[in-house]
Chains A and B, each alone.
Chain A
C-alpha cells in the first residue's frame, strides 16, 4: 500500500512544492511569506483585513465549476480511449450558443434551455472529430486541435460581425435575459454560481453511469482494449461516438455555465483555456468522475493561490502554468504508462 499508492503521491507533492519554491525564490519573493499568500488565495486563510475568505472561495469555486466540467469532459472521452484535446473549442461553441439562446424572447425555463443549447453545440463540435476517428481512422487529437482553431476563429467572427451588441463598442453579445441567468451561490459573491451544483451533480451521475451501468462498463471496456471489447460483442464504435458526444456536451456545458452563471454574455477573448486545464484535472483524477471533484478543487486552489500571489507581490502568474505542466508530466510518467497494444 505505502509503496504502491502513498509513496508516488508524496513524491509528486514534494516535486510540485520544490518547483513552486524554486519559481517563487527565482522571482525574488520571500518563500515563506509567499506560501502564506498562496494559501490565503487558495483557502482564504490566514485571514487579513484586505482579503476575506469569501474572496478566495469566490474565485476557487468559480474556477472549480469550470474545471470539474471540462475535467469530466476529458475524463469520459479518455475512459472510452479517446483523447479529447478539443474541450476548449467545444467550450467556445457551447458558450456562444448559450449566449445566443439566452437572448431569445419568451423561452420557457430559459436557463435550462440555454444550458441545453450550450451542450448541444459542444456535442456538435465533437461530432466530426469522432466521426473521422471511427470512419476514417483519423487521430482524434489532430482533428480536435483543428476544431479548436476553427471554433476560435468562427466565434470571433460571429461575435465581431454577426452577433455583436450594436449598442456596445466592445465586441460582445447582448446580455442574456434575467431568466436565463443562474443565481450566484451567495449574494456577496461575484463569480461563483449554482453552476457548481450542476457540476457536482454531473460528476456524481457520471460516476454511477460509468461504474454501475452496462453502458458505462462497455465504454470502459472499449477504452481499456478496443479489440477485446469488439471480440466480446461490445459495439465499440458506437460507444466511442456516444462517449465523445457526451464529452463535447460537457465541455459545451462548461461554456454555457460560464455565460449563464458569471459573464451573462459572450465576448471577444472568452476564456477557453479552461478546456486545456481540464486535461490536467482529468489526468490527476485518473479519469474517475468523483475524483475530478477533488482534482478540480486542487487545481482551482492552485490557480487562485498563485494568482493571489501575483496580485499581492507581482510574481508572474505563469507559475501556475508551469506547475500544471510538471504535474501532468509526473502523473503521466508514474501512473499512466502505455501498454504495448495496437492503437
Chain B
C-alpha cells in the first residue's frame, strides 16, 4: 500500500487537477452570472492549439499562453453574443462552440503545424519550467506537493481563494450573486446585468483556455488532436459536484485529478492481488457526479436564473 500512495502520487494528482480547476472555475464565473457553459471543452481544446502554435512560432511559452487566452476570449465572446444578443439557447450555442473548436483546431493543426513537422521541426514546444517559491517548495511537508509544479498550477491552487473573496466580500460579488439568481430584480436595482454576464462568460474563456495552455506548456509539450479529451466536461462535473462554490469546485477538481493520477498509477498494477479495471476508475468522476445529482450528498442548487 505504501508504494501506492506516496508523495509523488499527490504531486501527479495536483498536476492532473490543474486544468480541471482552471476550467471549473471558468465555468463557475459563467454560471454564477446565469450563463450555462457547455463550451468549456472547446475552449480548452482551442486554447491548447493556440498555445502550441504561439510557442512554436515565437519560442516563448508566455506568448503561447497569451495566444491561448486571446483565442479563449474570442470563443467566449461568440458565446456571449449568441446568448445575450441573439438570445440563442445556451446549450445549443455551447454544443456548436465545442464542435467548432474540435473542427477548427484539427483543421488548423493539419494545415499549419503538421507541415512544419514534416520540414523537420520538432513538435515539442518549449515549456514553462518549474516555479520557484523562494525555497518554500523544498520544505519537508510541502516539497512533495509543490516540487516541479509550474506556476500555472500554483495559480490554480490560489485562484479559488481569490475568487471566494471576490464573490463573497466585494460589491461586485454581490452583484454577480444578484444577476445569477434573479436578473430581472437585479436590473431593476440598477445592476448592469448584461455587462456582468459578458464579464463572467469572458472570464470562463480566459480560464478554460489557460487550462488548455497548461496541457501543452506544462504537461505534454505538444498539441494532439482532441487533446482536451473530455476535461471540459469533467470540469463541468466538478463545478456541479462543488455546488457552484469556488472552494467546492476546486476541491472536486482535485478529487477528480486524484482519480486520474491513481488510474495512471494502477495501470497494470494489482491492488491487494486484485486488478482494478482502469476504465471503471476513469468512470468514477462521472458516476460520482450522477450520485451527487441524485441528491444523495445533499441538495444541489444551481444559480436560479441559469439559462435565461
Contacts and interface: CB of A to CB of B under 8 A. Distances in A.
A338 B279 CA distance: 39
A311 to B, nearest CB: 14
Given A157-B280, A343-B307, A332 B96 contact: yes
Interface residues of A, number: 47
A85 interface: yes
A318 B91 contact: no
Given A321-B99, A325-B103, A149 B233 contact: yes
B96 A329 contact: yes
Nearest to A139: B302
A136 B236 CA distance: 18
A26 B93 CA distance: 25
Contact of A161 (B97, B106, B277): B277
A142 B285 CA distance: 13
Interface string A266-309: 00000000001001100100000000000000000000000000
Contacts of B151: none
A23 B302 contact: no
Interface in A153-182: 153-154, 156-157, 160-161
Contacts of B106: 316, 318, 321
A51 B96 CA distance: 33
A132 B82 CA distance: 29
A189 interface: no
A90 to B, nearest CB: 15
B107 A332 contact: no
Nearest to A327: B96
Interface string B269-282: 00000000101101
Best-surrounded residue of A27, A153, A323 (most CB of chain B within 10 A)? A153
B187 to A, nearest CB: 12
Please classify the interface of chain B as helix (H, G, I), strand (E, B), loop, or mixed, using the class held by over half of its residues. Answer: helix
Q: How many B residues touch the partner, as a band?
A: 35 or more
A153 B294 contact: no
A146 interface: yes
B92 A340 contact: no
B87 interface: yes
B88 A338 contact: yes
A322 B293 contact: no
A328 B287 contact: no
Interface in B7-46: 36, 38
Interface string B285-306: 0110110011100001010000
Interface in B107-154: 107, 110-111
Nearest to B284: A153
A287 to B, nearest CB: 12
Interface string A211-235: 0000000000000000000000000
Given A146-B286, A150-B283, 12 more contacts: A136-B293, A136-B294, A142-B236, A147-B290, A150-B290, A279-B95, A322-B103, A323-B103, A325-B96, A329-B96, A336-B88, A338-B88
Interface of A: 23, 26-27, 83, 85, 128, 132, 136, 138-139, 141-143, 145-147, 149-150, 153-154, 156-157, 160-161, 276, 279-280, 283, 316, 318-326, 328-329, 332-333, 336-338, 340, 343
